[in-house]
């Protein structure tokens, strides 16, 4: 637990190192970049970013890049060569760093650690809320005290709905989670569909659920239990063997009611982990919660309406028209009492805990799956957005968010992982170092702190260090003075296939109730830089990015000011529109590098022939660049991820210098990346 002494010690250490430099930033990145070093670190970090940078993962956000890569980028701009080393603390004091598309906030966290003053902008309010909570200095002791009180009130109100009995000793205790099967029907009647009959594989036994009686056993003995009126079937069984009809979803039934409980999982202090068939007492607890569902007042129903979108459209096709239908009655009771508890709080404690409750919804909804089949599996709950989309489960896992014991996705575990671990790390940030034998060591960066002081006007950034200005709005029009930013480091949206802001509505509708006056929770999709379609016609991607890049050109200091961002995409249209947006803003490519970014076994890209590397693009104003740095290409090799990114970067450098028409730029990209359009 963080005390006042560690915080004061951190401040003294940093003050001793702090030297507000008047020197311009280094532009060594125009000539070289430690690609092999950054590549090695990113390969370590890619699969466990939340463990490497815990203070940036308070709330769910998508497609975060490796913090080590962005630290390496920023270190290249440190004026003092002695402090340019990756493991040296600070180095950007007196500099202003902007991220106009901040998302998860990686740039802000990495830059503020190096002593810079930072500006973060996003059109979605969730990144702004997360950055404010995670960058502001607040004592962990205060957060822990607030959480303990908040949790205890929730537990007193809700625990009896989530309890069960140990089948061995009959002791009443907190359940861990409840597994539900999906109701379906055919001409013969209803069935309940689950992923598989095996519930748990362990070293000495396999727990199975019987399809006829729903009993859970580790033997193959003949059952003595009564036959259930609805048989269990697996997801592999799609056609009824009697009437030969395809099993159909109950689309006219509210989504939460399409599921029925088939197993309850708990962990008894005396008898250990158990799986049990729900009995009358368990079903009565669920029924009591269901009886209260319609009495919960969350405000106007229109606030929860699902709007048609690239991802939310999947909900409408399943006849889900309101976000609260995605939650069981017990989960809605949890939300209702959490919102009531948050209204009695204020300040940083309220903000942090509201974000904690919001992010917990990804692990506490009826869209959560079950992944506890194997003993070595890290927890039992598969979160909602594992595939960057809405996934509809056969075996849904209804979590117990107020279990006193830390378990997958409950509040106790999330507070430890997202807040306590993050705050401890912020005071003494750690980096990985790989020795010559390939072994990874952990190094504390003494003198750094991942946080600072929030300011509300750019004038406050002209002095001091580690200040942050957050702007919720359209980055095409920013209240920032001309030529006042030293460095821009960002990560643009992924063109056309990932709609993060559409998915984020799942959280926004609840955050608007938890923090109604703290942020503007409205969001205008028309201002989002995502292509609705590819082709000759101008998409929102090129239209919005052009405006953002023009604003970046206005803000960036002339001469040594640089904009750096990471990008990758197979689609030639994505590269063409990025090229056109940059050229319209007067940017030219100074240098490009390639670094590993995505592990091929990451769930959302597995088996998709996805790119595993990012291009790191270093850009400057055209008036600061000598033309002729790049030569024309005739073809781009798409057989290797790294080669592809390098050649796309080179092609973009050449096309930025060209005077080709937009149609010609698009045509060239399609010819270069043949078969990918």
Q: Is the pLDDT of residue 640 over 50?
A: yes
Q: Is the pLDDT of residue 272 over 80?
A: yes
Each residue's pLDDT tens digit, 373-398: 877 765 689 999 988 899 999 999 99
**pLDDT number for residue 532:** 53
Determine the longest span between alpha carbons in the chain, in angstroms. 84
**pLDDT number for residue 55:** 95
Mean pLDDT (the chain, rounded): 91
Q: Can you give the residue ranges of every domain in the chain?
A: 4-15+26-137+420-672, 142-409
Spatial CA neighbour of 457 closest among 446, 475, 470, 473: 470
Burial zone of 349 (CB within 10 Å; 0-12 exposed, 13-18 middle, 19+ buried): buried
Separation between Cα atoms, residue 92 and residue 95, nearest integer Å: 6
DSSP-based three-state secondary structure for 599: coil
Q: Which of 276-290, 360-374, 568-582, 605-619 has the lowest mean pLDDT?
A: 605-619
**pLDDT number for residue 216:** 95
Each residue's pLDDT tens digit, 523-537: 776 656 554 544 455
Q: Is the pLDDT of residue 499 over 80?
A: no
**pLDDT number for residue 1:** 38
Most confident range, picked from 200-214, 218-232, 315-329, 628-642: 315-329
Q: Which of 8-17, 200-209, 403-412, 589-598 has the lowest mean pLDDT?
A: 8-17
Q: Tell the CATH superfamily of the 4-15+26-137+420-672 domain.
A: Vaccinia Virus protein VP39 (3.40.50.150)
What DSSP string runs through 55-98? GG-SS--S-PPPHHHHHHHHHTT-SSGGG-STTS----TT-EEE
Asked whether 103 and 61 are in contact (CB, 8 A), the reply is: yes
Q: Is the pLDDT of residue 11 over 60?
A: no
Q: Which of 130-134, 395-399, 542-546, 653-657 has the lowest mean pLDDT?
A: 542-546
Of the pLDDT bands very low, low, confident and very high (cuts 50, 70, 90), residue 310 is confident
% of residues, the chain, pLDDT over 90: 80
Q: Is the dihedral of CA 437, 442, 447, 453 positive or negative?
A: positive
Spatial CA neighbour of 330 closest among 191, 195, 216, 174: 174
Q: Is the pLDDT of residue 609 over 70?
A: no
Separation between Cα atoms, residue 321 and residue 302, nearest integer Å: 10
- What six digits make up the tokens of 159? 């625990």
State the pTM of this model.
Answer: 0.92
**pLDDT number for residue 222:** 67
Question: Could you give the angle at the alpha carbon of 566 between the alpha carbons of 104 and 26, nearest 5°?
Answer: 100
Q: Is the pLDDT of residue 539 over 90?
A: no
Each residue's pLDDT tens digit, 143-176: 999 999 999 999 999 999 999 999 999 999 999 9
Average pLDDT over residues 353-380: 90
Which strand (E) or helix (H) includes residue 248?
A: strand 248-249
Asked whether 384 and 391 are in contact (CB, 8 A), the reply is: yes
Q: Is the dihedral of CA 203, 205, 210, 214 positive or negative?
A: negative
Of the pLDDT bands very low, low, confident and very high (cuts 50, 70, 90), residue 204 is confident
Q: Is the pLDDT of residue 179 over 90?
A: yes
CA dihedral 72, 8, 134, 1 (to 10 degrees): 110
What DSSP string runs through 518-567? TS-----GGGS---SS-SSSPPHHHHHHHHHHHHHHHHBPTTT-EEEEEE
How many residues can be counted in the chain?
A: 677
Which strand (E) or helix (H) includes residue 583?
A: helix 572-584
Asked whether 268 and 169 are in contact (CB, 8 A), the reply is: yes
Which bin fits 297, alpha (ψ -120 to 50), beta or left (φ > 0)?
Answer: beta
Average pLDDT over residues 463-475: 96
Q: Is the pLDDT of residue 293 over 70?
A: yes
- What six digits make up the tokens of 454? 């929030």
Average pLDDT over residues 224-237: 91
Average pLDDT over residues 327-341: 98
Q: Is the pLDDT of residue 671 over 50?
A: yes
Which strand (E) or helix (H) includes residue 443?
A: strand 440-444
Asked whether 127 and 107 are in contact (CB, 8 A), the reply is: no
Which strand (E) or helix (H) includes residue 49?
A: helix 49-52
**Residue 388, Cβ neighbours under 10 Å: how many?**
18
Q: Is the dihedral of CA 644, 645, 651, 655 positive or negative?
A: positive
Asked whether 94 and 20 are in contact (CB, 8 A), the reply is: yes
Average pLDDT over residues 79-101: 96
Separation between Cα atoms, residue 227 and residue 219, nearest integer Å: 18
Q: Is the pLDDT of residue 666 over 80?
A: yes
Of the pLDDT bands very low, low, confident and very high (cuts 50, 70, 90), residue 57 is very high
Average pLDDT over residues 198-219: 91
């Amino acid at each position: 637990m963080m005390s006042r002494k560690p915080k004061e010690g951190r401040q003294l250490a940093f003050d001793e190192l702090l030297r507000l430099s008047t020197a311009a930033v280094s532009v060594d990145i125009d000539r070289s970049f430690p690609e092999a070093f950054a590549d090695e670190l990113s390969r370590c970090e890619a699969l466990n970013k939340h463990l490497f940078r815990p203070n940036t993962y308070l709330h769910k956000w998508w497609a975060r890049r490796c913090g080590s890569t962005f630290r390496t980028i920023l270190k290249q701009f440190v004026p003092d060569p002695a402090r340019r080393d990756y493991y040296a603390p600070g180095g950007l004091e007196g500099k202003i760093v902007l991220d106009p598309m901040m998302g998860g906030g990686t740039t802000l966290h990495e830059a503020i650690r190096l002593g810079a003053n930072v500006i973060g902008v996003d059109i979605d309010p969730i990144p702004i809320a997360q950055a404010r909570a995670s960058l502001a200095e607040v004592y962990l002791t205060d957060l822990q005290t607030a959480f303990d009180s908040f949790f205890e009130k929730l537990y007193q109100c809700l625990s009896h709905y989530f309890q069960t009995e140990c089948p061995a000793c009959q002791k009443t205790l907190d359940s861990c989670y409840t597994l539900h099967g999906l109701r379906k029907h055919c001409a013969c009647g209803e069935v309940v569909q689950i992923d598989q009959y095996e519930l748990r594989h362990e070293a000495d036994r396999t727990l199975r659920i019987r399809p006829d009686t729903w009993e859970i056993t580790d033997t193959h003995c003949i059952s003595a239990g009564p036959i259930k009126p609805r048989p269990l079937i697996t997801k592999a069984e799609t056609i009824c063997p009697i009437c030969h009809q395809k099993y159909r979803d109950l689309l006219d039934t509210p989504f939460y009611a399409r599921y029925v409980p088939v197993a309850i999982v708990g962990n008894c202090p005396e008898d250990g982990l158990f799986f049990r068939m729900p009995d009358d007492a368990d079903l009565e607890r669920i029924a009591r919660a269901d009886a209260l569902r319609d009495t919960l007042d969350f405000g106007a129903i229109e606030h929860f309406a699902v709007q048609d979108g690239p991802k939310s459209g999947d909900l409408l096709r399943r006849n889900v028209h309101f976000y609260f239908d995605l939650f069981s009655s017990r989960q809605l009771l949890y939300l209702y009492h959490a919102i009531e508890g948050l209204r009695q709080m204020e300040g940083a404690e309220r903000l942090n805990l509201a974000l904690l409750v919001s992010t917990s919804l990804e692990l506490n909804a009826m869209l959560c799956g079950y992944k506890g089949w194997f003993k070595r599996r890290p927890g039992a709950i598969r979160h909602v957005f594992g595939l960057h989309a809405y996934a509809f489960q056969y075996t849904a896992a209804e979590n117990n968010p107020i279990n006193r014991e830390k378990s997958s996705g409950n509040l106790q575990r999330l507070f430890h992982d997202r807040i306590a671990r993050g705050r401890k790390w912020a005071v003494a940030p750690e980096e990985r170092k790989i020795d010559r034998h390939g072994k990874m060591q952990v190094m504390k960066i003494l003198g750094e702190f991942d946080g600072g002081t929030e300011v509300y006007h750019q004038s406050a950034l002209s002095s001091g260090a580690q200040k942050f200005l957050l702007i919720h709005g359209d980055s095409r029009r920013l209240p920032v003075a001309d030529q006042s930013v030293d460095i821009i480091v960002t990560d643009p949206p992924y063109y056309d296939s990932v709609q993060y802001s559409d998915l984020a509505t799942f959280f926004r509708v609840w955050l608007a109730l938890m923090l109604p006056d703290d942020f503007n929770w409205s969001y205008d999709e028309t201002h989002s830089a995502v292509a609705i379609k590819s082709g000759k016609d101008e998409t929102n991607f090129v239209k919005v990015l052009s405006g953002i890049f023009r604003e970046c050109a206005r803000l960036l200091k002339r001469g040594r000011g640089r904009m750096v961002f990471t990008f990758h995409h197979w689609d030639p249209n994505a590269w063409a529109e990025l090229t056109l947006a940059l050229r319209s803003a007067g940017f030219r490519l100074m240098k490009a590098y390639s670094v590993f970014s995505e592990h091929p076994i990451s769930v959302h890209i597995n088996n998709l022939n996805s790119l595993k590397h990012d291009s790191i693009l270093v850009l400057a104003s055209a008036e600061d660049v000598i033309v002729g740095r790049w030569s024309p290409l005739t073809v781009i090799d798409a057989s290797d991820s790294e080669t592809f990114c390098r050649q796309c970067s080179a092609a973009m450098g050449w096309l930025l210098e060209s005077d080709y028409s937009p149609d010609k730029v698009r045509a060239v990209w399609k010819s270069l990346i043949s078969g990918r359009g």
